[in-house]
Chain A
Amino acid sequence: MTHIDEAPQSTEPEKAVAPNQGRAKKLPTRDRATVITMVAIPLVLVLLLVWLPAMLSVVLSFGKWNGFGDLGTIEWVGVQNYKDIFTIYPAFWPAVKHNLIWLTFLFLLPTILGMLLAVVLDREMKGSRLYQTAFYMPVVLSLALIGFIWQLFYSRDQGLINQVFNSEVDWYGDPDINLWAVLVATAWRHTGYIMLIYLAGLKGVDASLREAAAVDGASEVKTFFHVIFPVMRPINMVVIVIVVIESLRAFDLVWVINKGRNGLEVIGALVAQNVIGEATRYGFGSALAVIMMLISSIFITIYLRTVFREERNR
């Protein structure tokens, strides 16, 4: 989502406008107008709906404001909000840690599992469609609903898991366990998502590549790692971006479970706690949002650099 937002900023001004002038002689006025309109409208929308609010958030993050009265009532406090976040806000560092755990976990388990499932299902085995549908099913559900479904399994007193195993584990309440319980629920959905994307990619791989590898006597595993996987590079890139974005915007599930508290702190939920609902710490919440934006930009920058380097090499 966000990488799309940023892309036009760096490409459109030079790339879209420059060739435009060069081709101006060849293009009839009407076509030229069409092109300009097609570039200008999304650009204006992006600036207005993404960059303006983002910049306003940055501005607000230096103030203290509860939303009462006009903008004159904002008390400008400099970097106080950031200082508070880093020093006395107990939820912040756990949140950063949880986002990172989220990212690592998504990469290590559901992503790899999803790829594996895709490779297996790609072999056109019996009932492959059924499996495909079954694994993909959770993706259709919203994360909020998934949180609720898993609550039925995890509830300490009335949940299925504790009933079946006769245990008393407080799956959603124990701060040492609940993050992992939530990650399992996320994985349940994420695996199917990655599987589908990867499966689509695999179907697009030229069959002659496999044949050639087979003729050369390469084993299945070797064929995958040395032939198929490198060819799938664009899809791999998409998968990486999806995983990073998914883990940074981790929010819905923890919000449904306990509003992102008690072991489930993630940055997205902290922003919401402070600005949505009855608490109206707009300055403080904006500062958190800015921090989240900065962290995202690191990943986005890395991604964009890789993509552009590839384009240049082509």
Chain B
Amino acid sequence: MLCILVGFCLQEAFVSRTTSTAIPRSTVATMAATRRNVLRGIGLSGLAVGGASLLAACGGDSGPATGSGATVKFGINEAEGSGPAYDRLKAIAAAYGKESDTEVKLNAVDHNTFQESINTYLQGTPDDVFTWFAGFRMAQFAEAGLISDVSDQWPIDGLNDSFKQAATAPDGKQYFVPVSYYPWALFYRKSIFEKNGWAPPESNNDFMELMKDMQGKGITPIAFGDKDGWPAMGTFDILNMRLNGFDYHMSLMAGEEKWDSDEVKGVFETWRTLLPYHQADPLGRTWQEAATSMGKGESGMYLLGTFVVDAIADQADDIDFFTFPELDSAIGADALDAPIDGFCVASAGKNQEAGKAMAKWLGSAAAADAGNAGADAPFIAANEGASTSSYNDLQKKSAEVVGAAANIAQFMDRDTNADFANTVMIPSIQAFLKDPDDIDGVTASIQEQAASIFG
């Protein structure tokens, strides 16, 4: 309790000194516009301090642990009225309540507030089940004992091995139940490709030819914006997975490899050769602006998550994608970034049994179907048994591509220590983009700081 109090004081001290504003991250993918983001941030900055108490809002009643008449508390990272994401979670909660005759108490918190107060939340009086992400951040909570082992609920019908792997912490047990995901790939406009007689490249040679042809026709091959710092992580991820392989990528993320190694330098060197094909001056451009340039046909392709369509909704039907081509035949091209969203059971939750039972159900096809039936826009369900009838073409293809991938990474800011990703990698990648010739300097600086953080 004391630690929470101190944490509070600290947070309060910093907030009052600095006026906290919400942080947009890759995980806020569904937010359509920066403006909305900013306004939302302003409105919520005042709430930041009270956020944790909001999160912890709960009663102390007790009934039967599971089954009819039981109560389970469900914390979700979407505020009421925030769009389809909230509607889906609400519909899922309602469906579970009906199905199991359990009373599901929904605790809806704004996305950024939820993420920023997650530490105090989990160490205070958290809900039994809460929304979270696969990857290092899940593993970190598992190691700290803040989330419960749900391996007794696995295997879950319809969730294949790659999802099980993504739900597994380094101790070999599962602490997570996936519900949905979205892939990162190279997006393009079908009509523009058709008009110019272009086709998705099969090999790196095709890819280079395609980009040269685009440049010849006065089109910037790859749209690029990194003002917010995280979008360029996607480029690093995919280049590292193509050049050094998935296993190397994951151990690099876990802090087990050196950042000033030849492998990492190789990634930056390849990136440097590709930079002339990217939009210039990425550091002043948001991903929405970069997406707009692809939407207008000024850029040919854009490496981003499927949320790219949020920024160019008018052309949504004209958008297609392909995965990044193979760069090294020994490595192949069967790995990609596809961040998975899902649920964890909080160790400090009052009703462990009910929480675990609910978590298992949340991974089922029924849960995904209930969610997609209850909202305008569907998510791509992790469960292969889920109905795909409400999917648009992009989502159908996403499901296919991710299903075919041998390895799925979660995106750099979910795969590695959050401290490292936010305070070291974002500025370092930006430093590289500012001065692409100083690869030795950038990698040396990353390694020094990595050594200090990973210890």
B281 pairs with A278, CB closer than 8 A: no
Closest to A282 in B: B10
Question: Which one of B6, B284, B455 lies within 8 Å of A174 (CB-CB)?
Answer: B284
Residues of chain B within 8 A of A268, CB atoms compared: 17-18
B38 pairs with A148, CB closer than 8 A: yes
A156 pairs with B119, CB closer than 8 A: no
User: Do A144 and B6 form a contact, CB below 8 Å, given A157-B289, A251-B18, A251-B19?
Assistant: no
Residues of chain A within 8 A of B15, CB atoms compared: 276
Q: How far is the CA of A53 from the CA of B8 in the complex (A)?
A: 10
B42 pairs with A276, CB closer than 8 A: no
A198 on the interface (CB 8 Å rule)?
Answer: no
Within 8 A of B (CB), among A272-287: 272-282, 284-286
7 contacts between A and B (CB under 8 A): A67-B119, A68-B119, A70-B3, A155-B289, A156-B284, A172-B284, A258-B228
A162 smallest CB distance to B (angstroms)? 10
Question: Which one of A154, A273, A278 lies within 8 Å of B115 (CB-CB)?
Answer: A278
Question: Which among A54, A57, A154 has the highest number of chain B CB atoms within 10 Å?
Answer: A57
User: Do A262 and B427 form a contact, CB below 8 Å, given A68-B144, A278-B422?
Assistant: yes
Interface 0/1 of A252-269, CB less than 8 Å to B = 100110110110000011
A122 on the interface (CB 8 Å rule)?
Answer: no
Closest to A83 in B: B452
User: Do A272 and B427 form a contact, CB below 8 Å, given A67-B119, A259-B229?
Assistant: no
Residues of chain A within 8 A of B3, CB atoms compared: 69-71
A84 on the interface (CB 8 Å rule)?
Answer: yes
A57 pairs with B119, CB closer than 8 A: no
Q: How far is the CA of A28 from the CA of B284 in the complex (A)?
A: 67
Closest to B115 in A: A278
Q: How far is the CA of A60 from the CA of B449 in the complex (A)?
A: 19
Q: How far is the CA of A79 from the CA of B292 in the complex (A)?
A: 47
Q: How far is the CA of A268 from the CA of B426 in the complex (A)?
A: 18
A173 pairs with B283, CB closer than 8 A: yes
A244 on the interface (CB 8 Å rule)?
Answer: no
B29 smallest CB distance to A (angstroms)? 15
- Tell me which of B20-28, B70-78, B198-206, B255-263 binds A: B20-28
A69 pairs with B283, CB closer than 8 A: no
Residues of chain B within 8 A of A54, CB atoms compared: 13
Chain A interfacial positions (CB closer than 8 Å to B) = 52-54, 56-57, 60, 64, 66-71, 80, 84, 88-91, 142, 144-145, 147-148, 151, 154-158, 168, 170-175, 178, 249, 251-252, 255-256, 258-259, 261-262, 268-269, 271-282, 284-286, 289
Please list the 9 inter-chain residue pairs (A to B) with the smallest Cβ-Cβ separation, ordered nearest first. Answer: A173-B284, A53-B13, A173-B283, A279-B422, A170-B281, A68-B144, A170-B284, A278-B418, A88-B448
A-B contact count (CB 8 A): 175
B330 on the interface (CB 8 Å rule)?
Answer: no
B453 on the interface (CB 8 Å rule)?
Answer: yes
B21 pairs with A57, CB closer than 8 A: no
Q: How far is the CA of A253 from the CA of B99 in the complex (A)?
A: 49
User: Do A271 and B14 form a contact, CB below 8 Å, given A84-B452, A173-B284, A251-B19?
Assistant: yes
A152 smallest CB distance to B (angstroms)? 9
Residues of chain A within 8 A of B146, CB atoms compared: 68
Within 8 A of A (CB), among B216-230: 227-229
Residues of chain A within 8 A of B404, CB atoms compared: none
Q: How many of chain B's residues touch chain A, expressed as a range?
A: 35 or more
B23 pairs with A173, CB closer than 8 A: no
B147 smallest CB distance to A (angstroms)? 11
B405 on the interface (CB 8 Å rule)?
Answer: no
User: Do A280 and B285 form a contact, CB below 8 Å, given A148-B38, A259-B228?
Assistant: no
Q: How far is the CA of A144 from the CA of B434 in the complex (A)?
A: 26
Question: Which one of B14, B38, B284 lies within 8 Å of A276 (CB-CB)?
Answer: B14
Extra contacts, 9 of them, besides A60-B10, A156-B281, A259-B426 (Cβ < 8 A), are A56-B6, A66-B119, A173-B283, A258-B229, A273-B423, A279-B421, A279-B423, A280-B418, A281-B419
Q: How far is the CA of A268 from the CA of B18 in the complex (A)?
A: 7
B12 on the interface (CB 8 Å rule)?
Answer: yes
B393 on the interface (CB 8 Å rule)?
Answer: no
Residues of chain A within 8 A of B413, CB atoms compared: 278
Residues of chain B within 8 A of A285, CB atoms compared: 14
B416 smallest CB distance to A (angstroms)? 11
Q: How far is the CA of A173 from the CA of B144 in the complex (A)?
A: 39
A144 pairs with B42, CB closer than 8 A: yes
Residues of chain B within 8 A of A71, CB atoms compared: 2-3, 6
Residues of chain A within 8 A of B116, CB atoms compared: 276-278
Residues of chain B within 8 A of A269, CB atoms compared: 18
Closest to A87 in B: B448
A172 pairs with B227, CB closer than 8 A: yes
Closest to A69 in B: B144
Residues of chain B within 8 A of A151, CB atoms compared: 34
B20 pairs with A170, CB closer than 8 A: no
A175 pairs with B423, CB closer than 8 A: no
User: Do A272 and B426 form a contact, CB below 8 Å, given A157-B285, A262-B434?
Assistant: no
Within 8 A of A (CB), among B416-449: 418-419, 421-423, 426-428, 430-431, 434, 445, 448-449
Residues of chain B within 8 A of A70, CB atoms compared: 2-3
Interface 0/1 of B369-380, CB less than 8 Å to A = 000000000000
Q: How far is the CA of A70 from the CA of B123 in the complex (A)?
A: 9
User: Do A262 and B430 form a contact, CB below 8 Å, given A68-B146, A174-B284, A273-B423?
Assistant: yes
User: Do A280 and B419 form a contact, CB below 8 Å, given A71-B2, A285-B14?
Assistant: yes
Q: How far is the CA of A58 from the CA of B65 in the complex (A)?
A: 45
Residues of chain B within 8 A of A259, CB atoms compared: 23, 228-229, 426
B312 smallest CB distance to A (angstroms)? 14
User: Do A272 and B422 form a contact, CB below 8 Å, given A52-B9, A53-B9, A174-B281?
Assistant: no
Residues of chain A within 8 A of B281, CB atoms compared: 156, 168, 170, 173-174
A173 pairs with B453, CB closer than 8 A: no
B41 on the interface (CB 8 Å rule)?
Answer: yes
Interface 0/1 of B138-175, CB less than 8 Å to A = 00100010100000000000000000000000000000
